[in-house]
Amino acid sequence: MIYVVIAFLWAAILLYILLGGADFGAGIIELFTSSKNKQYTRTTMYQAIGPVWEANHMWLIIAIVVLFVGFPEIYTTVSTHLHIPLVIMLFGIIARGTAFTFRNYDAVVDNMQKVYNKIFVYSSFVTPFFLGVIAASAVSGKIDTSAADFGAAYIFSWLNWFSVTVGFFTVAICGYLAAIFIIGETKDDASRIRFIRKAKQMNVAAGILGALVFWVAHSEGIPLNEWLFDSAIGVIALVAALLSLALLWYLLLKKGKVYIIRVLAGFQVTMILLAITLRHYPNIVILKGGKYLSLMEHAGQEKTIYSLGMALLLGSVFILPALFYLIYSFQKNKGQWH
C-alpha cells in the first residue's frame, strides 16, 4: 500500500505543477502582456480557467494531506525549517485566490478592478516562485536540522542562489504551460499568433533559466549533473523531453493540432519531474551533511498507510470521473484552430 500512497503523492505533485502551474501561468502571462492586450488576455484566460481553477488547486491539498498523514516527520521538518518561504507562499495563495474571485464577483466594475488585477498578477508570480524555492531547498542539502543560530536554521536553508534560480525557473515553466494551454482557447488569428509568440518566449526563458540552474548548482556544489545523468532512466527522460520539445516547436510553426501540443508540453514537465525525483527515490528531502528523509523509512505505521491508501483510492473513484467530466464539458467546443 505504501507504493499506492507514494504514487498518489507523486501524481498530486505532478498534477499540481501541470494544472495549478498553468493556472499561475495565466497571471504571469497577464503580467508580461502589453497593456493594450491585457483585457483580451484576461477575458480569454478567465473563460478558460474560471470553472476549473478551484479544482486545480486541490492537488496541493491532497499532496499536503498525504505528507502530514503518511510522512509526518518529512512534513514537520520541512515546515519547521522552511517556515518563512512557506508563509510567503501561503500569502500568495490567499492573495491570488481571493483577488481572482473578487474581480469576477464584484457587482460594481470600477477602479477596484485595477487593485484586484495588480494583486492577482503579482501573487501569480510570487506563489510559484516560492513553490520553486521550497522544492529546491528540500533537495539542495542546505537544511541544517542541528543549526543553533536563526540564520542557519531558518533563513539560509532557502535563501541561496540555487533555490532562487529554481524559483525563477518554476515561474517560467508556469508561464510556458499557460501560454501553450491558452493557444487553444483563442478565437482569432491575431491573438493566437500573439500567444504562440508568448509560448516561445516563455520556453526560451525556461531554457535559459534551466541552464542557469545547472550552472548555479555546479558552483554551489550541488551534484545536479550526477542526479540527472547518473541513471539511465533520468537520461532517457531528459532526451524524451528534448525530443518532444523539438516536435512541439515544429507543430507550433506548422499549426499542428492543439491537443497534441498541450500533451507534449505536459509530457516535458512530467519527464523533468520524473528525472529529478527518480534519482533520489525513495529519498524526498536531502538535509545538510548527507542525511536524508526517506519515503520508506519515515513513513507512518502500517495501518496508517493502509487506511490512507484506501482513502485515496476511494477518493479517486469519485474525483477523477467528476473532474474529467468537468474539464470535458467546458472544453467540448474548444481546442481547435478556429
Partner 1 sequence: MDDFIAARSQMALSLGFHIVFSCIGMVMPFFMAVAHFYWLRTNDVVYRNITKAWSKGVAIFFATGAVSGTVLSFELGLLWPEFMKHAGPIFGMPFSLEGTAFFIEAIALGFFLYGWGRFNKWFHWFTGVVVGVSGLVSGILVVAANAWMNSPAGFDYVNGQYLNIDPIQAMFNDAWFSQALHMCIAAFVATGFAVAGIHALMILKKKNVRFHMQSFRIAAVFACVAALLQPLSGDISAKDVAKRQPAKLAAMEAHFHTEAAAPLIVGGIPDSKAKEVKYALKLPGMLSFMVHSDFQTPVTGLDKIPEQDQPPVAITHFAFQIMVGLGVLMLLISLCYFVAIWKKKSWLQHKWLLRLFVLATPMGFIAVEAGWTVTEVGRQPWIINGIMRTADAVTPMPGIVYSFYIFTAVYISLSLIVTFLLYRQIKMVDKLYDVSPTA
Question: Which residues would be at the binding site for partner 1 (CB under 8 A)?
Answer: 50-52, 54-55, 57-58, 60-62, 64-66, 68-70, 72-73, 75-80, 83, 86-87, 90-91, 93-94, 97-98, 100-102, 104-108, 150, 153-154, 300-301, 303-304, 307-308, 311-312, 314-315, 318-319, 322-323, 326, 329-330
| Minimum CB distance to partner 1 smaller for 52 or for 240 | 52
- Cα(303)–Cα(312) distance, integer angstroms: 14
CB of 9 to partner 1, least distance (A): 12
CB of 55 to partner 1, least distance (A): 5
Which phi and psi angles does 41 have, rounded to 5°?
-55, -45
Which phi and psi angles does 271 have, rounded to 5°?
-65, -40
For residue 52, how many other CB atoms are within 10 A of its CB? 17
Q: Are 78 and 71 in contact (CB under 8 A)?
A: no
| Minimum CB distance to partner 1 smaller for 59 or for 168 | 59
Q: Is 149 exposed, middle or buried, given 0-12, 13-18 or 19+ CB atoms closer than 10 A?
A: exposed
CB of 17 to partner 1, least distance (A): 16
CB of 233 to partner 1, least distance (A): 30
- Cα(262)–Cα(57) distance, integer angstroms: 19
| Minimum CB distance to partner 1 smaller for 73 or for 220 | 73
- Cα(160)–Cα(154) distance, integer angstroms: 12
| Minimum CB distance to partner 1 smaller for 33 or for 124 | 124
CB of 161 to partner 1, least distance (A): 23
Q: Residue 333 contacts by C-beta under 8 Å, 6 or more apart in sequence? A: none
Cell 477523477 belongs to: 320
| Minimum CB distance to partner 1 smaller for 37 or for 79 | 79
| Minimum CB distance to partner 1 smaller for 119 or for 275 | 119
CB of 73 to partner 1, least distance (A): 6
Q: How does 250-259 read in b/e, with b if 16+ C-beta sit within 10 Å? A: eebeeeeebe
